């Protein structure tokens, strides 16, 4: 196969130059599709097809032949635009362009082939695997419970804050604001375990009476708001 390509290398060189000239003529003369350039480019692709198939096998992309073939076509397309006749044969120049495209394709779809992927133990899985293999799911059995508990705590905190705000509004004329704030902090600590802050030196009985009084009044406010 390599001998066949080498024997036709001069013809491929001329064909690549013809494709470029047809593109340039078509681009400068009209905006219609350049059928001559397309026809010549298809012929060039056919001539380079054995080389493209060889490279696809070398890069291990035979299981995605359509994508690999398209990558080779992109490489040949770029090779036509950048080909310089004095430096090398077109087949040599196109080979490196196709290698670059195939390497890029393999890096996108085969993460486990890369050094970083091997280090991270990444493994490529087929999208069709779930249809033939049993599904494997990692389930956190306590996630739902934690979510519900967290949502319940937030709702309780908001409800308690609203009731305490309503209760404090009825006491602003009867007690100093620092006492109201201290009693409120004591109640929140006893009910929902809020963080303790500075409080007066109340006895345990005084604390119990304060909590009972606030609880009784918050219950009255809740019943009024509920229309009971």
Indicate the pLDDT class of residue 124, thresholds 50, 70 and 90: low
Does position 73 have pLDDT exceeding 90, yes or no? yes
The sign of the dihedral angle between the CA atoms of 71, 76, 77, 81 is positive
Global confidence as pTM = 0.46
Which of 103-112, 194-203, 219-228 is predicted least confidently? 194-203
What confidence score (pLDDT) does residue 29 get? 47
What confidence score (pLDDT) does residue 96 get? 92
Does position 77 have pLDDT exceeding 70, yes or no? yes
Helices vs strands, H then E, count in the chain: 11, 0
Across 62-73, average pLDDT: 90
């Amino acid at each position: 196969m390599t001998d066949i390509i080498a024997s036709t290398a001069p013809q491929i060189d001329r064909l690549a130059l013809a494709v470029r000239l047809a593109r340039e003529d078509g681009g400068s003369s009209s905006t219609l599709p350049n059928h001559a350039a397309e026809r010549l480019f298809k012929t060039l692709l056919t001539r380079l097809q054995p080389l493209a198939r060889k490279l696809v096998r070398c890069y291990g992309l035979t299981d995605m032949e359509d994508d690999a073939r398209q990558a080779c076509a992109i490489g040949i397309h770029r090779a036509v635009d950048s080909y310089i006749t004095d430096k090398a044969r077109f087949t040599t120049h196109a080979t490196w362009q196709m290698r670059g495209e195939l390497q890029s394709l393999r890096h996108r779809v085969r993460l486990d082939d890369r050094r970083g992927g091997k280090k991270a133990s990444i493994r490529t899985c087929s999208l069709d695997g779930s249809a033939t293999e049993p599904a494997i799911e990692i389930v956190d059995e306590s996630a739902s419970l934690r979510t519900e508990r967290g949502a319940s705590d937030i709702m309780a905190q908001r409800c308690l804050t609203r009731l305490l705000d309503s209760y404090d509004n009825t006491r602003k004329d009867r007690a100093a604001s620092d006492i109201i704030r201290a009693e409120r902090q004591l109640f929140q600590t006893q009910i929902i375990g809020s963080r303790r802050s500075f409080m007066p030196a109340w006895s345990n009985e005084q604390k119990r009476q304060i909590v009972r009084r606030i609880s009784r009044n918050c219950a009255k406010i809740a019943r009024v708001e509920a229309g009971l």
